[in-house]
Chains A and B, each alone.
Chain A
Amino acid sequence: EVQLVESGGGLVQPGRSLRLSCTASGFTFGDYAMSWFRQAPGKGLEWVGFIRSKAYGGTTEYAASVKGRFTISRDDSKSIAYLQMNSLKTEDTAVYYCTRITFDPWGQGTLVTVSS
């Protein structure tokens, strides 16, 4: 069964950092580009960023709202994608989801709350 599990969320103060993990199973992780999305409480879905597979250079794309603060990386040997979030703002409060480039499946998400 193809599965994605996000972890690493929690309560963090503005200006601090947090790293989220997306652990994959049930498929050849290295063959797929991966995306991160988020959903603020009671709001719609927002794309955060994307990392290509190594076969396509492993390069990244980011939403303007997080560019320069967030970094996506991947460890294909562990089947994990990471979202390093620096200089966090209150408006980054959201449930963060990861998914494959095929947009299936979606994990249950991990909640990040940025508050003093």
Chain B
Amino acid sequence: DIVMTQTPLSSPVTLGQPASISCRSSQSLVHSDGNTYLSWLQQRPGQPPRLLIYKISNRFSGVPDRFSGSGAGTDFTLKISRVEAEDVGVYYCMQATQFPHTFGPGTKVDIK
């Protein structure tokens, strides 16, 4: 199975300041079809997960442009350019390149 790791596991951020989350996979996430199925999901307190980013860097419909994804191969990053109060929650990276699909442990973002 592909193991996903995230750093940091906790990220207290000042409103209006940037935040960055790193995600690393134990093997390349490049699929045989040439795509890299790395997604980022946000889970606000008491809510179901919500898709933010798919295939490394594609922002899903309705996701604010302060969220961006980057990376390749085994190293990926989610950046929030200016954290807002509504961004509080847990962020997960997930790979769907190979079964079983696997998640990182989650990064808790809260306000200082």
Show the binding face of A for B, using Cβ within 8 Å: 35, 37, 44-47, 50, 61, 63-64, 97, 102-109
Closest to B99 in A: A61
A60 to chain B, nearest CB (A): 10
Between-chain CB contacts (< 8 Å), 27 pairs: A44-B92, A44-B103, A44-B106, A45-B92, A45-B94, A45-B103, A45-B106, A46-B103, A47-B100, A47-B101, A47-B103, A61-B99, A61-B100, A63-B100, A97-B48, A102-B51, A102-B54, A103-B54, A104-B50, A104-B60, A105-B51, A106-B48, A106-B49, A106-B50, A106-B51, A107-B48, A109-B48
Task: Establish whether residues B100 and A108, one from each chain, have CB atoms under 8 Å apart when the complex forms.
Answer: no
A45 and B100 contacting across the interface, CB-CB below 8 Å: no
A80 to chain B, nearest CB (A): 19
Asked if B49 and A45 make an inter-chain contact with CB atoms under 8 angstroms apart, the answer reads yes
Q: Bound complex: CA of A44 vs CA of B102, how far in Å?
A: 11
Give B65-87 as 1s and 0s: 1 = Cβ < 8 Å from A's Cβ atoms: 00000000000000000000000
CB–CB B100/A44 < 8 A: no
Q: Is the CB of A47 within 8 A of B51?
A: no
Which chain B residues lie closer than 8 Å to A63 at the CB level?
A: 100
Could you say which of A35, A47, A50, A61 has the most chain B C-beta atoms within 10 Å of its C-beta? A47
Interface residues on B, range: 20 to 34
**Chain B residues whose C-beta falls within 8 Å of the C-beta of A107 in the assembled complex:** 48
Interface residues of B in 93-112 (CB under 8 A from A): 94, 96, 99-106
Is A97 in contact with B49, judged by CB distance below 8 angstroms? Answer: yes
Contact A103 B39 (CB under 8 A): yes
- CB-CB under 8 A from B43, the residues of chain A are 45
Q: Return chain B residues, CB-CB under 8 Å to A103.
A: 39, 41, 51, 54, 94, 96
Measured CA separation A24–B5 after assembly (Å)? 32
In the bound assembly, the distance between CA atoms of A108 and B100 in angstroms comes to: 23
Assembled-state Cα–Cα distance A45/B104 (Å): 8
Chain A residues within 8 Å of B96, by CB: 103
Closest 6 CB pairs of A and B: A47-B101, A106-B48, A104-B51, A61-B99, A45-B103, A103-B51
